[in-house]
Amino acid sequence: MDITGTAKSHHADIHKASSKKEWKLSDSLREQIAGYAREDAAQNVYIGNKFLALRKSEVAKVAPDRAGVTGRSARGGEGRYGI
C-alpha cells in the first residue's frame, strides 16, 4: 500500500483551500495607513482608533469567525474548542 501519493494530494488540497483567502496590502490601503499614522503622530497617539478599526475590518475579510467559536466554547460542555 502506497500512502505517499495520498499524503501529497491531501496537502495539495489544503494549500488550494487556504490560498482562496490570500490578503495583500494594496497601494491605497498603504496610503490610508500612512495617513492614519500621520494623524496619530500629530496627536501624540501610538495607534489610533481609526487604524484599529481598519485593521479589524481587514482581518475580518480573511479570518474565520472567531467570535462565534469563542461564544460557543464559553457556554461550556462542548469540548475545548466549542465544537
Of 38, 35, 29, 17, residue with least CA distance to 57: 29
Residue 80 CA to residue 69 CA, distance in Å, equals 10
HEC readout, 52-74: HHHHHHHHHHHCCCHHHHHHHHH
In a domain, 76, yes or no: yes
In a domain, 28, yes or no: yes
pLDDT tens-digit readout, 31-83: 999 999 999 999 999 999 999 999 999 988 887 766 666 665 555 555 565 55
Of 24, 5, 8, residue with least CA distance to 16: 8
pTM score, whole prediction: 0.53
In a domain, 41, yes or no: yes
Range of the domain at 38: 24-83
- pLDDT class of 29 with cuts at 50, 70, 90: very high
